[in-house]
Each structure stands twice: as structure tokens, then as C-alpha cells.
Amino acid sequence: MTNPNRCSYPSMASSLLYRSANPVVTFCPFISRYILSQSSVVLSRYKNLRFYSATSTITAVQRYDGRVRASKSEQLRSCCADTVVIAKDDKYGNKQIISVTPHLYGYMLTNVREPEEPVFQILRELREETANMRGSQMQVSPDQAQLLAMLVQILGAERCIELGVYTGYSSLAIALVLPESGHLVACERDAESLEIAKKYYERAGVSNKVDVKHGLAVDTLKSLILNEEACSYDFAFVDAEKRMYHEYFELLLQLVRVGGLIVIDNVLWHGKVANPLVNDPKTVSIRNFNRSIMEDKRVSISMVSTYRRWHDNMPQKVK
């Protein structure tokens, strides 16, 4: 299983990503398969290319960051003949920041392919089945799932790990784009939600690619290492216990090959990390984790803001 060579030098994937990602395409109608919905910059000064993701909005950061000027005005923008998008513009120094309002987010969701492509309709069905379940707000949003799937494709990933499966939305999105030989280790401690996830892997015809691990994510990662699977994974998505991020990260650094990607969810934690008045254990833990990653010379990092409050706002927009 383990290929020691994979640990010793940067892979082609890392340099390709570096070259094409500086900055990454925001929206490019000419590249039909690979469209990034958020801009990001990937620095590749180091051997390991790691990707570092956030899911809160820039708006939240602005609110708490003293350096940001107050909101200037609400602007009404007509972006095409029959679509009106209201964007709330703010300034950060001389840079303009466009916050993602529900209207703008609704527009973004119209650019998610979940409803159109038959292979992805199963994702919509899963989302709809779990919409009223306890914890459904934890599910990644359709645009985030699309981004994850695309990163897996860009990387040419075959071996992936997900920590925090819930009912399987993000893992299903990943499994659907893995090749037939692909392998996704899906870690979740809650047996009940895992049953739903398994049902959908089955229905989508991807259960042969998904290795479900019921239990604590840390235990699974340690057992993979003991099983001599170090450096054999291409991609990891972390969406489990927030206070364990540092430990997950250290274990994943052993499991993911050089040039692989580790995507970590919720690093802005609803904007709380930027508010010095918020010091609950999860916020402090994520804040400390962000700081340590920033100083960690073993990895290249990029913090990306993606919007996720779609559950409350407009699920009907993606139907």
C-alpha cells in the first residue's frame, strides 16, 4: 500500500497546481470542467503543497477587524438582463471587498451543477432527505462540495480521507469523482448518520470506493499509520471535532503524500476567530490552530472563504 517514493519528492501535481493557481480562476466559462467558485492563492515555496480552507464569510471578519472601514453603501447592481444582485461593498484599505449576500449567494448556487447533471442528482436527494434532520446545518453546501470534488479532480487523487462524514454529502461528492480504483476512508463517530451515508454510497454505486470507519477520527488515523499507510494518501478533508484540528493535522501530515492536499473546514468559525472577545474552547482552539499553520514551514497554505448559510436562506434555489 505504501509507496516510500511518494514521500520523498514533490509530485507533479503540486507544481501543476502552483503554476495554475496564482491566483486561481474565479469564474472561467471557457474551462468547462474546472471552475473555482472562490479565488485563492496557493503558495508553493515549500515541498508540501497543502490547501487550507475556510467556510465563513468575509463579512464576519470585517465586522470584527478594527482595520476595516465601516460599510460604505448598499449598491444595486444589475449583472445581466434579468438578474439583479444586491452586493454590499466594503473597503479594506484601498481594496474593495464584496460581501456575499443571500442574493449573491443565490446566484452562485445557480452555477452549481448538482441539479443538472444526472450523476450528481443523488447529491440533491441526499441533501433533501437530510434537510430536516438534526445537524443538517453541518452539511457542506453544494458549492463547497463542488469545490472539494474539483480539487480532488485537479489533484488526480485516488486515495482520500474524510474526517466527519455526517450523512455523507461531502464524501459522496468526493467519491463520485474518484476513479473506479479510487479509495476514500470515511471517518465518523455517529452510527446513525453513517447508516444514511452508506445507503447513499450504495445508491450512487460508489460503496466499493468508500471504506467507512465508525469511531473516533483520531483512532482511525492512528490505525492507518500503524497499518503502514503513511504517505499513501493524496487528499484529506477535515470536518470533524474542531478542538482536535491540531492533532488531525499532525496525523494527516504523516498520511498524505508530499504534493497532496489537506482541506480543513470551518477555520473562520463563523467569524469568531477574528473577535478577541470570543474565547470559548472551540474558537480558541481554531484560532491557535490557524496561527500554528501560518508559522508551519512544512506546508504551503491558502485560506479560502466560502459561504455556507444556504440552509437557512434559499435551498429552493438549487433545486
Ligand X SMILES: C[S@@+](CC[C@H](N)C(=O)[O-])C[C@H]1O[C@@H](n2cnc3c(N)ncnc32)[C@H](O)[C@@H]1O
Joined together, the cell numbers standing for residue 101 give 449576500
Nearer to ligand X, 101 or 237 (CB): 237
Q: Cβ of 12: how many Cβ atoms within 10 Å? A: 9
Q: Which stretch binds ligand X (CB under 6 A): 45-53, 181-189, 256-264, 273-281?
A: 181-189
Q: Which residue is nearest to ligand X (CB)?
A: 164
184 vs 187, which CB is nearer to ligand X? 187
292 phi/psi in degrees, rounded to 5: -70, -35
Which residue do the cell numbers 469523482 mark? 177
Euclidean distance between CA atoms 297 and 295, whole angstroms: 6
Residue carrying the nine cell digits 487528499: 235
Asked if 170 touches ligand X (CB under 6 A), the answer is yes
Cα angle 180, 186, 189 (rounded to 5 degrees) comes to 160
Select 107 or 245, whichever has its Cβ closest to ligand X. 245
Binding ligand X (rule: CB under 6 A), the pick from 37, 62, 193, 300 is 193
Out of 54, 123, 187, 251, the only residue in the binding site for ligand X (CB under 6 A) is 187
- Could you tell me the smallest distance in angstroms from the CB atom of residue 232 to ligand X? 21
CA distances from 282 to 188, 242, 285 (A): 19, 6, 5
Q: Tell me, what DSSP letter sits at residue 269?
A: G
Under rule CB under 6 A, which residues in 232-261 are in contact with ligand X? Answer: 239-241, 244
Q: In what order do the strands lie in the sheet with 256-264?
A: 210-214, 183-188, 159-163, 233-238, 256-264
The site that binds ligand X (CB under 6 A) totals a number of residues, namely 20
Site for ligand X in 200-229 (CB under 6 A): 216-217
Nearer to ligand X, 138 or 301 (CB): 138
Binding track, positions 104-143, relative to ligand X; x by CB under 6 A: ----------------------------------xxx---
Of 14-22, 89-97, 158-166, 302-310: span binding ligand X (CB under 6 A):
158-166
Question: What is the smallest separation between the CB atom of 167 and ligand X, expressed in angstroms?
Answer: 6
Which of 103, 189, 246, 311 touches ligand X by CB under 6 A? Answer: 189
| Stretch binding ligand X (CB under 6 A), from 25-33, 35-43, 167-175, 256-264 | 167-175
Q: Is 188 in the site for ligand X (CB under 6 A)?
A: yes
Helices in 75-141 by DSSP H: which ranges?
102-109, 121-130
Biggest CA pair distance of the chain: 59
Q: b or e along 75-94 (b: 16 or more beta carbons within 10 Å of the residue's beta carbon)?
A: eeeeeeeeeebebbebeeee
Smallest distance from ligand X to CB 137, Å: 9
Residue with cell 507544481: 15
d(CA 213, CA 163): 10
Q: Which residues bind ligand X (CB under 6 A)?
A: 138-140, 164-167, 169-170, 187-190, 193, 216-217, 239-241, 244
